[in-house]
Structure 1
Amino acid sequence: MIRLPRRTTGLLRGSPISLSASVRSRTTLASSSSQLYFEQKDSAMSSPGDLTPAERTILDSAIPANWIYQGQMAVLWQDATARPVIQKMWDQEKRHLIVMNALQEQHRVRPSVMLEVAKVVGWGLGAVTALMGREAAMACTEAVETAIGEHYDDQLRDLESLNSSHPSIPVLKDLIRELRDEELEHLDTAVLHNSQRAPAHALLSAVIGAGCTVAIRICKRI
Structure 2
Amino acid sequence: MRSDHAGETGAVFIYRGILHCTRDSVLREFATEHLATEERHLAFFEHWLPPALKSRLLPLWKVGGWSLGALALLGGRRGVFLTIEAVETFVVAHYREQLPRLRAAGQEALVTTVCGFMDDEAAHRDDAASRRVAGPYVRLGRFWCALVGSGSAAAVAAARRL
Q: Fold conserved (TM > 0.5)?
A: yes
SS of the aligned residue for 1:59 comes to: helix
Aligned to 1:183: 121
Whole-angstrom distance in 2 between the partners of 1:151 and 1:101? 19
**What's the CA shift for 1:109?**
5.1
2:146 to 206, 210, 213: 206
Shift of 1:178: 0.3
Q: Map of 1:121-200 to 2, 5 A cutoff?
A: 121-162=64-105, 164=106, 169-194=107-132, 197=135, 199=137, 200=140
1:66 and 1:103 map into 2 onto residues whose CA distance is 17
TM-aligned CA distance change 1:65 to 1:150, over 3 Å: same
Q: 1:1-222 counterparts in 2 under 5 A?
A: 55-76=1-22, 78-105=23-50, 110-162=53-105, 164=106, 169-194=107-132, 197=135, 199=137, 200-222=140-162
Identity of aligned residues (%): 28
CA RMSD of aligned residues (A): 1.7
Instruction: Provide the rounded CA distance (Å) in 2 between the counterparts of 1:113 and 1:127.
Output: 24
- 1:101/1:109 Cα in 2 relative to 1: closer, same or farther (>3 Å)? same
- Relative to 1, partners in 2 of residues 1:210 and 1:88: Cα closer, same or farther, differing over 3 Å? same
Normalised to the residue count of structure 2, the TM-score between the two structures is 0.90
- Report the Cα distance in structure 1 between the residues aligned to 2:118 and 2:15, rounded to whole angstroms: 17
Q: Distance in 2 between matches of 1:114 and 1:217?
A: 12
1:124–1:206 Cα change, 3 Å: same
The answer to whether the Cα contact below 8 Å between 2:2 and 2:55 also exists between their aligned partners in 1 is no
Q: CA deviation at 1:219?
A: 0.9
Query: Aligned AA for 2:29?
Result: P
> TM-score, length-normalised on structure 1?
0.67
**Unaligned ranges ≥5, structure 1:** 1-54
CA distance in 1, matches of 2:101, 2:12: 25
Query: Unaligned stretches of 5+ in structure 2?
Result: none
In structure 1, what is the Cα distance between the partners aligned to 2:64 and 2:133?
21
Check 1:126–1:144 CA distance in 2 against 1; reply closer, same or farther (3 A cut): same
User: SS at the partner of 1:133?
Assistant: helix
Q: Higher helix fraction: Structure 1 or Structure 2?
A: 2
